[in-house]
């Protein structure tokens, strides 16, 4: 069976075709980063409007790549949440209308399930069960994954998500949006030991995170370096200082993620640790996780770099896996659309 999947929860429009045996036949992606750059963050209204503009051209590109047509599709998968309400609405209105017109079933996909399963699309996919470190722009969670649809929440952030902490910290020290990649690039040339920044909740004995204190510590340090008493955007900080601060921040956040992820994996007695979400693209995080896990006989799995951040492939894949597990979904003709801007993935 062939599933056509759509992603439009935030600032990426993604379309892909995936078979129920897990092969991606075609995929196309458009990131709105350039459009939101001037505003220093995603502008929801602009995002919704742009999804509408991109969906059809991206879908055509996807079909051209796959060398198949609309008639070959057996189901339509779409992200129904969580995400920006208007952005979700754009992708869902499009997907549900098309499904209704073509008399196809709709498979609603939880955006985080897409991220969580994205490592299964890599050349060396993990088997179930595994512990997952899900670190994206809006979420930081540790999950025990026993199988498809069996997700146990072990812990999550009390405040900022890891990606959000990267983005906000980057903005604070004057780096362009999106901050995560820019900050980690700058960190490569800095000294991670120069500033002693807090590792919040490192020894809390649970699997919870908190990153807002770390962010504040960076702000205080940045103000000191710039010689100002009030926080301001684009504070004048020397390039070397800036790189050292970026490196020190990255080291603090990565150490926390690595230690907690490993502890969760050991607690679950899993032999596999899986990383997903945009921050999973971070090089230091990848290196440190592999280093720490290998010592404990745990294997680490990552999504391909281009599948860490939002994309259509992970949504088409999640939809296809659901169809494979529950073939009766193909008979569903319920078109009452229900977008869920906030919703949990955990099933236990
Ligand atoms: P969610 O999935 O929770 O709704 P999202 O879809 O916005 O959030 P993703 O697309 O998974 O999040 O990831 C985007 C985040 O990943 C951004 O916060 C970005 O800064 C961060 N990110 C991307 N690359 C890197 C990197 N190399 N190092 C650190 N952070 C990164
Ligand atoms: Mg994005
Ligand atoms: Fe995402």
ipTM: 0.99
**Using a 6 Å cutoff on CB, does residue 178 contact ligand 1?**
yes
Mean pLDDT check: name the lowest of 105-119, 124-138, 195-209, 220-234.
220-234
Residue 200 token pair: 């919040």
- CA 251/CA 41 separation, integer angstroms: 24
- CA 115/CA 307 separation, integer angstroms: 8
- CA 329/CA 276 separation, integer angstroms: 26
User: Ligand 2 centroid vs 155 CA: distance in angstroms?
Assistant: 23
- CA 141/CA 135 separation, integer angstroms: 7
pTM beyond 0.95: the answer is yes
**Using a 6 Å cutoff on CB, does residue 279 contact ligand 1?**
yes
Taking a C-beta distance cutoff of 8 angstroms, is the pair 91, 51 a contact? yes
83 pLDDT band (50/70/90 cuts)? very high
**Using a 6 Å cutoff on CB, does residue 309 contact ligand 1?**
yes
Cα–Cα separations (whole angstroms), residue 332 to 103, 314, 323: 10, 22, 11
Of 269, 327, 330, give the one whose Cα is nearest residue 296: 269
Residue 41 marked in a binding site: no
- CA 195/CA 70 separation, integer angstroms: 56
Residue 295's CB is within 10 A of a number of other CB atoms, namely 9
232 pLDDT band (50/70/90 cuts)? confident
Cα–Cα separations (whole angstroms), residue 77 to 109, 140, 295: 6, 24, 40
348 pLDDT band (50/70/90 cuts)? confident
Report whether the peptide linkage leading into residue 62 is cis, meaning its omega lies within 30 degrees of zero.
no
Residue 115 marked in a binding site: yes
Taking a C-beta distance cutoff of 8 angstroms, is the pair 264, 272 a contact? no
């Amino acid at each position: 069976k062939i599933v056509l999947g759509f992603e439009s929860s935030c600032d990426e429009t993604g379309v892909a075709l995936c078979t129920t045996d897990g092969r991606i036949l075609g995929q196309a992606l458009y990131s709105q980063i350039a459009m939101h750059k001037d505003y220093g963050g995603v502008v929801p209204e602009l995002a919704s409007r742009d999804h509408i503009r991109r969906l059809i051209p991206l879908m055509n590109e996807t079909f051209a790549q796959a060398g198949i047509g609309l008639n070959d599709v057996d189901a339509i998968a779409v992200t129904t949440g969580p995400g920006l309400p208007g952005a979700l609405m754009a992708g869902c209105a499009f997907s549900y209308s098309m499904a209704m017109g073509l008399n196809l079933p709709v498979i609603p996909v939880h955006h985080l399930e897409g991220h969580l399963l994205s490592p299964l699309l890599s050349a060396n996919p993990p088997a179930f069960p595994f512990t997952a470190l899900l670190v994206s722009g809006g979420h930081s969670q540790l999950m025990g994954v026993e199988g498809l649809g069996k997700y146990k929440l072990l812990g999550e952030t009390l405040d900022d998500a890891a990606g959000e902490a990267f983005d906000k910290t980057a903005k604070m020290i004057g780096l362009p949006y999106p901050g995560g990649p820019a900050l980690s690039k700058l960190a490569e040339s800095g000294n991670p030991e120069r500033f002693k920044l807090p590792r919040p909740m490192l020894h809390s004995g649970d699997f919870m995170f908190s990153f807002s204190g770390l962010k504040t510590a960076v702000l205080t340090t940045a103000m000191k370096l710039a010689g100002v008493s009030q926080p301001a955007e684009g504070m004048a900080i020397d390039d070397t200082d800036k790189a050292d601060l970026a490196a020190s921040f990255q080291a603090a956040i990565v150490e926390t993620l690595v230690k907690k992820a490993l502890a969760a994996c050991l607690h679950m007695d899993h032999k596999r640790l899986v990383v997903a979400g945009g921050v999973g693209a971070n090089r230091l995080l990848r290196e440190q996780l592999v280093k720490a896990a290998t010592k404990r006989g745990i294997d680490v799995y990552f999504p391909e770099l281009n599948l860490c951040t939002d994309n259509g492939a992970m949504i088409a894949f999640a939809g296809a896996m659901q169809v494979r597990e529950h073939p009766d979904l193909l008979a569903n003709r319920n078109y009452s659309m229900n977008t869920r801007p906030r919703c949990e993935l955990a099933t236990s």
